[in-house]
Amino acid sequence: MRMSPPLGLVLVAAVTLLASANANAETRLRIDSDTATSSSTTPTSSLSSSSSSTTTTTSSYRSGTKHDQMIAGMEATLLSLLGFNKRPNPQGQPYVPESLRKLHARQNSLGTADIAKPGIHARSANTVRSFPHIESDLDRKFQSPNRFRLSFDLSRIPNGETLQAAELSLTRVAVPDTEGEYKRGRVLVYDIIRPGVRGRSKPILRLIDSKVIDATKNATVNLDVQPAVVRWMENHQDNHGLLVHVTVALTRTREHVRLRRAADEHKDAWVVSRPMLYTYTDDGRYEMASADQIMDRRARRAALRKNRRKDGRENCRRHPLYVDFADVGWNDWIVAPPGYDAFYCHGDCPFPLADHLNSTNHAIVQTLVYSTKPSMVPKACCVPTALSSISMLYLDEENKVVLKNYQDMAVLGCGCR
């Protein structure tokens, strides 16, 4: 299923209406509260006034119930357009990886629904999910700081999404006193096909990626683990984790690549350094943008025109419209952005239609007919002709950080159609 351009505009309209509905609800709540206070301080003079008060209260209750149902319905529609079955209910304040924040900023600057991250071929992916290592009692069996099993629970990835790429991200601690050939090493990551049984069988491993490292550097190491994740998504019971092995001569007893939490390490410090698995998936909602479309969007951003006629009326053009997620109460699970510029199109489509009004041949003909016989056809309308994507960081039902790109959410250009 793909989201057509009108649905993006429906989403903007629905957010605006929901925010307005919430504001009206708060206003009515204050009015009802004032009325109740006034009624409590004024003695009832007759049975009729008491009956009238009861009727008013009942009517107000029914009206409030209908209003609540309307708000709930609008919110459900919004969530459905965004691809949610229900509203996420995050618990606590999660850590958002710096790499996701940078990717979010990069995606918003590009305005495309496709993930564009240097060093990884994400193809048509529009969703990035983060998965931290799940600590367990099995971790204690690995005594060496340079050999460790990592476990990730990917069972909540929706079945309808197609995996395009997956990478394991490992942080490092520089070892400055390492020199010469001894500072060189390698990080190897294996997919555990079958775990070993002590005294009976050895584990079956498959090497899926490796990287040469310099122990004097502390840059993050990213490894391609897509073959393992593909296998896990086909059958979650085959997910036995990843085995990471670091080979650096002078770091056999010292930790260079952060694989496990130190005994005296605070939880907040470990959250920043812990291994993370990122999946890049395509939810099938959007078409992959071509190079021409991306260049056209950039050109429109650089040259947005304002058209004002001599008679004071404005020709068809783009107008500002800011959608604030706090207004609809979503700021508790949407990490970034706090809102975005959606814009809208409004203005006149006069005869004859000028070239800068970005009109179709059909609109030109329709405007010509309207100028001679207004009763035969309506006037050409000012509508969006180019839309761009926005990137959102949010928390899912399990409090995991997700980056998702939504297509056709902001107006770039307007025209007469």
Q: Which amino acid is at 180?
A: G
Q: Is residue 226 part of a domain?
A: yes
Looking at the fold, whether 255 and 374 belong to one and the same domain comes out as no
Angstrom distance (rounded) from CA 122 to CA 111: 16
Question: Cβ distance 18 to 76 under 8 Å?
Answer: no
Say what percent of the chain tops pLDDT 70.
Answer: 68
Q: Which amino acid is at 301?
A: R
Can you give the residue range of the structural domain that contains 274?
Answer: 98-282
The string of pLDDT tens digits covering residues 373-408 is: 777 888 888 888 888 888 888 888 778 888 888 888
- Overall pTM > 0.75: no
Closest CA to 353 of 328, 386, 379: 379
Q: Which residue has the higher pLDDT, 107 or 18?
A: 107
Q: Which two tokens stand for residue 414?
A: 């307007």
Q: Residue 266: phi, psi to the nearest 5?
A: -70, 150
Looking at the fold, whether 114 and 215 belong to one and the same domain comes out as yes
The string of pLDDT tens digits covering residues 359-371 is: 666 777 777 777 7
Q: Is residue 348 part of a domain?
A: yes
Q: Which amino acid is at 117?
A: K
Q: Write down the H helix ranges in 249-335.
A: 267-273, 291-302
C-alpha angle 255/258/261, rounded to 5°? 95
Q: Is the peptide bond before 352 cis (omega within 30 degrees of 0)?
A: yes
Q: Which amino acid is at 154?
A: L
Q: Which two tokens stand for residue 351?
A: 């005869």
Q: Is residue 208 part of a domain?
A: yes
Percent helix / strand / coil, the chain, rounded to 5: 35, 25, 40
Q: Residue 310: phi, psi to the nearest 5?
A: -65, -30
Three-class DSSP category at 281: strand
Q: Is residue 135 part of a domain?
A: yes
Query: Last residue of a domain, which of 282, 317, 345?
Result: 282
The string of pLDDT tens digits covering residues 312-329 is: 567 888 898 888 888 777
Q: Is residue 7 part of a domain?
A: no
Q: Is residue 60 part of a domain?
A: no
Looking at the fold, whether 365 and 224 belong to one and the same domain comes out as no
**281, pLDDT greater than 80:** yes
Closest CA to 150 of 130, 179, 176, 170: 170
Cα diameter, the chain: 99
Question: Cβ distance 283 to 267 under 8 Å?
Answer: no
Query: Last residue of a domain, which of 249, 282, 315?
Result: 282
Looking at the fold, whether 304 and 349 belong to one and the same domain comes out as yes
Say what percent of the chain tops pLDDT 90.
Answer: 14
Q: Is residue 275 part of a domain?
A: yes
The string of pLDDT tens digits covering residues 59-73 is: 554 555 766 676 677
Angstrom distance (rounded) from CA 189 to CA 168: 9
Looking at the fold, whether 295 and 271 belong to one and the same domain comes out as no
Three-class DSSP category at 372: helix
Q: Is residue 248 part of a domain?
A: yes
Closest CA to 128 of 414, 401, 416, 415: 401
Angstrom distance (rounded) from CA 100 to CA 87: 22
When pLDDT is cut at 50, 70 and 90, the band that residue 180 belongs to is: low
Total number of domains constituting the chain = 2
Three-class DSSP category at 390: strand
When pLDDT is cut at 50, 70 and 90, the band that residue 279 belongs to is: very high
Looking at the fold, whether 103 and 229 belong to one and the same domain comes out as yes
259-270 average pLDDT score: 81
